[in-house]
Chains A and B, each alone.
Chain A
Amino acid sequence: KQEVTQIPAALSVPEGENLVLNCSFTDSAIYNLQWFRQDPGKGLTSLLLIQSSQREQTSGRLNASLDKSSGRSTLYIAASQPGDSATYLCAPGNKLVFGAGTILRVKS
């Protein structure tokens, strides 16, 4: 049974900082891993999807890496902005099993 842990549970940073969100999972037999953001009262928005054959994926200021063998993924956010404030969730595998998320607050 896949178990997903996200660290830290919450993070508060000043605007402009670079930051790293961590995700670990127990079952490395996955096709892909997705990172999502969730704004209050909203559904999830897919940010990045990393296929198992890839090691990283980039979109704008976001970069996600995947190390299947160690069961880890990181989401790197460069030059954080107040608009990045949200909950970030990772989900390994097609049968998405979510972590509890990291609540990010970027202060202006």
Chain B
Amino acid sequence: EAGVAQSPRYKIIEKRQSVAFWCNPISGHATLYWYQQILGQGPKLLIQFQNNGVVDDSQLPKDRFSAERLKGVDSTLKIQPAKLEDSAVYLCASSPTGSNQPQHFGDGTRLSIL
């Protein structure tokens, strides 16, 4: 089975610019997650979707971050405007519906803010 696909793999922008990341989950996985992983730390959940609805966005900085999952499949995460502290790897994960299903991760997008 094809894994979680993310693009781009790397992105370098200047502060105050905008950037968008794309994720294609594993086919049939209803739940999709976006995580932020700062160097030396574990991933932090930003937002969780169940199909095309938001389940949890309590840790998403909504003044600058937005995410959508149109049609319950692909998802995009956007940052506008970017700050220096947004430099991190942004990971997308997906899982089937159910409370005991493992999450499958993509390789992430490494974002550097200059």
Contacts and interface: CB of A to CB of B under 8 A. Distances in A.
B48 to A, nearest CB: 7
B103 A32 contact: no
Given A32-B100, A51-B100, A43 B107 contact: yes
Nearest to B10: A41
A61 to B, nearest CB: 19
Contact of B105 (A44, A49, A94, A99): A44
Chain B contact residues (Cβ within 8 angstroms of A): what range? Answer: 20 to 34
Interface stretch (B11-19, B38-46, B61-69, B73-81): B38-46
B104 interface: yes
Contacts of B25: none
Contact of B99 (A42, A46, A94): A94
Most chain A beta-carbon contacts within 10 A, residue among B48, B56, B103, B110? B103
A45 interface: yes
A98 B41 CA distance: 8
Interface in A25-47: 31-32, 34, 36, 41-46
A32 B99 contact: yes
A30 to B, nearest CB: 10
Contact of A43 (B40, B102, B106): B106
Interface residues of A, number: 23
Interface string B24-61: 00000000010000001111110010000000100000
Nearest to A99: B42
Nearest to B4: A43
B101 to A, nearest CB: 8
Contacts of A91: 42
A101 B44 CA distance: 13
Closest 7 CB pairs of A and B: A98-B42, A43-B105, A46-B102, A44-B105, A43-B107, A31-B99, A49-B102
Given A89-B42, A98-B41, 7 more contacts: A4-B42, A41-B107, A42-B107, A42-B108, A43-B108, A46-B102, A98-B43
